[in-house]
Structure 1
Amino acid sequence: MLTLATLRTLPRRLSRLSGRVLALGGLALLAACATPAEPGRMTLTPAQDAKPFAPQLATAMCVRDVTGGSTTNPLWVSQVGNDEFKEALQSTLRNYGVLADANPCRYPIDVNLLGLSQPIMGFDAEVTSHVNYKVMNPANEPLLLETISASYTANFSEHPIGVVRLKRANEGSIRENITKFLQRLRETPPKA
């Protein structure tokens, strides 16, 4: 039963309740903000049985240019930026012993991220990355010109929050793309 005292305190109670609802809503929005891909999650480390690269490539490669990536808008969806892709590829090449650190770069790599095919929503987030790689030899002739597409699916069990699941799918797709690039590089040894 409503009394006069209850009616007098109702606006104050509603104000406190609406403040709590707004605070919880704000926290939910912050938790659902898109974040850019993490280079460490896109970096590969060699397996024990990994096929070696041609000896000419040992400490002789560098990532010269990465284009086509997108900056992540926190209010939209996770993307892969040029800097994140470049860092992941450089770290991978370093892990495999083909990145030129002290030596001059004899085999520069130019990368163009043509795009990410991303889902709009869903429990499973499958992302396909399309990347063009161009590796030049010391004579500035193409050693490898390849456009590679690779997919990765992050399912609900990988992460319950959709924006994080999409980010994981982006990272997994780029990781798979780099894996395919390394395979093609092994199959295309430089001429002696």
Structure 2
Amino acid sequence: MISTVLRQTLRVGMVGAALVLAGCGKKVLDFRNAEIANGKIFSSGANSPFSGQVTNIDIFKIPNLNNGASPILKTLNSLIGASLYSDEYITLGDLCDVNVKDGILQGKGLCKAVKGDNVISEFSFENGVLQNHFKMFSKTSEFVIAEADFDSGRLDEKCCYPILIMDSSLPKQNLKKESWMATSFVTLWTVNTPFTKGVS
């Protein structure tokens, strides 16, 4: 029979191990408890920039993402004839989860719609600018609607074609918002016009 002293020793050891493991994990900061100063993200009231994952950051607080992906959004929305602020207008998402190092965007990130957990865009940052592969998904997150590569914040002109997934019953030349909102997407159509050049 295990003595009381031994049980207490084991319990203390287990708690200590759990605390050590928790300390080894990546720090997570909800943006409600964060602030931006001089272009860097801080935990509210902290003197040193934050390193770890920042969750639920408003997409408009990430200007390098909006500016870098702007040509992609313009291309997609022009293809479906969607106007700004309309229900059909394609966006990168609303709230984002990003990784930062010393307050600067670094590593993978994603954005979701404000209502629901569907991922709308995936991307990577290096030293605060878009780098490597970028993806956008339909509002249901089931299909890729655009892919591109970035190099130091600029679109790679060799990989700049949107992929629209549309209902096969609709002619390609008559792409409309109905095809975008359709629930049955079975045809891949690669647009033959590249995105406009990336922004600086």
| TM-score normalised to structure 2 length | 0.31
Higher helix share: 1
Higher strand share: 2
- Structure 1 or 2, whichever has the larger Rg, is 1
| TM-score normalised to structure 1 length | 0.32
